[in-house]
Amino acid sequence: MPRDTNLCGVVLLVVLQSLIKTSEEIVEA
């Protein structure tokens, strides 16, 4: 597996976690 693909997956995971955190904060507000 190329390193670029691995890095892309990591970035996607980080973005997904950020979106989940933001949505949770919106629900709590």
- Per-residue model confidence as pLDDT tens digits over 6-29: 999 999 999 999 999 999 999 987
- Compute the distance between CA of residue 12 and CA of residue 2 in angstroms, rounded to an integer: 16
pTM of the predicted structure, to 2 decimals: 0.63
- Compute the distance between CA of residue 19 and CA of residue 27 in angstroms, rounded to an integer: 12
Q: Which residue is associated with the tokens 């949770």?
A: 24
- Compute the distance between CA of residue 20 and CA of residue 25 in angstroms, rounded to an integer: 9
- Compute the distance between CA of residue 13 and CA of residue 18 in angstroms, rounded to an integer: 9
The structural domain count of the chain equals 1
pLDDT at position 10, please?
Answer: 95
- Compute the distance between CA of residue 14 and CA of residue 28 in angstroms, rounded to an integer: 21
Residue 8 sits in which domain range? Answer: 1-29
pLDDT at position 2, please?
Answer: 66
pLDDT top residue among 19 and 1: 19
Q: Which residue is associated with the tokens 């892309």?
A: 8
Task: Say whether pLDDT at 3 is over 80.
Answer: no
pLDDT at position 4, please?
Answer: 80
